[in-house]
């Protein structure tokens, strides 16, 4: 096995840290990707003593920490804020709900997330950015092209202070390329990188499940951003090979609905070609963890997490140090 395999804890956010550590150890994981929430990394309690408490719990179960994640707060840095965001935010970030105030407090919390990462001894924060222009994805009613350009500039303006802070702390931000983010495919990721002036603290959390059903070449994403792949999520997705009642936009149907065109699946049970992903990661020299983000509405989460670990460990392999035909060459 070439890389360590970790479990992302967001989908187990209702469990106390010690409980998810015990389960991850039982399943056989090498470590965790801790989500920022009340149970796993509670930023309201941030202090050296609290961080040592987290690390001591991990050591108790012989688990390593490689990264922390804060998706929900990151989403609110660049989003137009409405009633939906209240449900994903801590009360002190939501405050009175005034949109610009929420965005500013979210940005401050993301800087605090970087401080937490540094105190916990990791160098990567995974998260979202949100997007001021996602609602303009389908261009009707028509709008000027400059509107999209300004949207990327606004997102870059809001993210740069966070990234500058991360760079000072020796932390990297890995955006999970994802619908509703400013970067959701290769094209938009390239545009946002340019808007950020190729900030050295900015890169990507590669998660193929958000690209496959869109028709995005997720293997080309690895090649395109070879020096910007800071972290990797292993999550699978299934999509239909024939027309469905609800298309790629989902028809407002919930995850798990049988009439959806696509749905997340436990790793190895969807259509993502993980063998080719491993080969591409080997080619670019990615040696970081493979983090299982388990999301399958039709499957028990503990069974899915254990099964996903077995699959990832089986599919991962080290690159060859020599050409296979080198032995045939005479000196």
Q: What is the pLDDT of residues 73-131, one digit of tens each?
A: 999 999 999 999 999 999 999 999 999 999 999 999 999 999 999 999 999 999 999 99
Determine the Cα–Cα distance for residues 53 and 209; give it in Å rounded to an integer.
Answer: 34
Determine the Cα–Cα distance for residues 5 and 124; give it in Å rounded to an integer.
Answer: 16
| Mean of per-residue pLDDT scores for the chain | 96
Structural domain that includes position 290:
5-328
Report the pLDDT value the prediction gives residue 211, as an integer from 0 to 100. Answer: 98
DSSP assigned state of 15: S
- 291 pLDDT higher than 70: yes
Task: Assign 329 a pLDDT band (cuts: 50, 70, 90).
Answer: confident
Would you say how long the chain is, in residues?
331
- 1 pLDDT higher than 80: no
Q: What is the pLDDT of residues 230-261, one digit of tens each?
A: 999 999 999 999 999 999 999 999 999 999 99
Beta bridge mates, 3: none
Report the pLDDT value the prediction gives residue 36, as an integer from 0 to 100. Answer: 98
- Name, in order, each residue with C-beta under 8 angstroms of 137's C-beta and a sequence gap of 6 or more: none
Indicate the SS3 state at residue 205. strand
- Name, in order, each residue with C-beta under 8 angstroms of 80's C-beta and a sequence gap of 6 or more: 99, 132, 135
Q: What percent of the chain has pLDDT over 90?
A: 95
Beta bridge mates, 233: 291
Number of domains making up the chain: 1
- 298 pLDDT higher than 90: yes
Determine the Cα–Cα distance for residues 266 and 248; give it in Å rounded to an integer.
Answer: 20
Report the pLDDT value the prediction gives residue 322, as an integer from 0 to 100. Answer: 76
Across the range 215-226, mean pLDDT stands at: 98
0.75 exceeded by pTM: yes
Across the range 177-199, mean pLDDT stands at: 98
Report the pLDDT value the prediction gives residue 2, as an integer from 0 to 100. Answer: 83
Residue 311 sits in a domain whose CATH number is: 3.20.20.150
């Amino acid at each position: 096995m070439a890389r360590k395999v970790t479990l992302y804890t967001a989908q187990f956010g209702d469990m106390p840290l010690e409980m998810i550590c015990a389960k991850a150890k039982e399943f056989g994981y090498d470590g965790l990707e801790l989500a920022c929430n009340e149970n796993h990394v509670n930023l309201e309690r941030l202090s050296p003593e609290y961080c040592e408490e987290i690390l001591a719990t991990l050591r108790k179960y012989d688990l390593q920490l490689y990264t922390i994640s804060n998706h929900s707060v990151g989403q609110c840095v660049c989003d137009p804020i409405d009633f939906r965001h209240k449900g994903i935010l801590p009360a002190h970030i939501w405050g009175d709900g005034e949109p610009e105030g929420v965005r500013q407090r979210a940005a401050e919390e993301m800087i605090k997330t970087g401080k937490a990462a540094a105190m916990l001894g990791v160098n990567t924060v995974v998260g979202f950015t949100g997007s001021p222009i996602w609602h303009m994805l389908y261009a009707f009613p028509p709008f000027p092209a400059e509107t999209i350009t300004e949207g990327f500039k606004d997102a870059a303006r809001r993210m740069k202070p966070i990234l500058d802070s991360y760079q000072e702390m020796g932390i990297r931000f890995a955006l999970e390329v994802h619908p509703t983010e400013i970067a959701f495919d290769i094209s938009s990721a390239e545009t946002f990188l340019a808007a950020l002036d190729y900030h050295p603290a900015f890169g990507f959390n590669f998660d193929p499940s958000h690209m496959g059903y869109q028709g995005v070449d997720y293997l080309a994403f690895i090649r395109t951003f070879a020096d910007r792949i800071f972290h990797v999520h292993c999550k699978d997705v299934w999509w239909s090979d024939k027309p469905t009642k609800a298309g790629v936009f989902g028809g407002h149907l919930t995850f798990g609905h049988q009439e959806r065109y696509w749905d997340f699946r436990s790793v190895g049970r969807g259509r993502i070609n993980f063998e080719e992903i491993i080969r591409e990661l080997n080619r670019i020299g990615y040696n970081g963890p493979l983090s299982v983000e388990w999301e399958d509405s039709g499957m028990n989460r503990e069974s899915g997490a254990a099964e996903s670990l077995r699959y990832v460990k089986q599919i991962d392999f080290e690159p060859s140090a020599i050409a296979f035909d080198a032995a045939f060459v005479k000196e």
